[in-house]
Structure 1
Amino acid sequence: MDQFPKWMLALAGVNLLPLLASPFFLFGNLTLCQRHTGVLYLLFYLLTQLAWGLPLAAFFVRLDLYRRGFETAGVVIALAGWLIAAVGVWLLL
């Protein structure tokens, strides 16, 4: 981790916060979209699982892009991870 600057680790580290909330995504009994058919409920469940899985993937993609020299693309990926994490937290509330 010495090859990455502290500001970049702080920017990317926020994408790990949904990992702490993953038990709520997995077992939180989200009550949205339960009046629809089983297929729609399954799709909604998969989307909520992506709300914590995608920011985690964005963390590692961000580190890899920075290591390869694509700093701007890495910052964009980190900000997209932040946005997805915010939507996930909104779904939990």
Structure 2
Amino acid sequence: MFTIELTLKHTAMPLSVQKKEQSDAEATYNSVVEAIRSGSSQLVDLTCDQQPNKRVSVLGSELAAVQIFEKSGTATASGRPPGFFALSSDQ
């Protein structure tokens, strides 16, 4: 599952949608990047594959940033959950 996360101007909380296929995620990412570059006041409509009824529409001029990443399991290569603090049972 790939997540496309949008950051809006003057808004601390990002918006996100998920796509199952990498090609769909890349196409969505590229359309958002194009909207940011143009700075137009046209709507950018996004749909989510994980939640089919989830739809997001944002004015292109209000977009500040976009990122794409693959959502993997909660464990890292070391087997620990991600984050700054983890309790270890090894003593």
**TM norm structure 1:** 0.30
Q: Give 1 or 2 for the bigger CA radius of gyration.
A: 2
Task: Give me the TM-score of the superposition, normalised by structure 2.
Answer: 0.31
Higher helix share: 1
More strand by share: 2
Larger relative CO (CA 8 A, sep 6+): 1 or 2?
Answer: 1
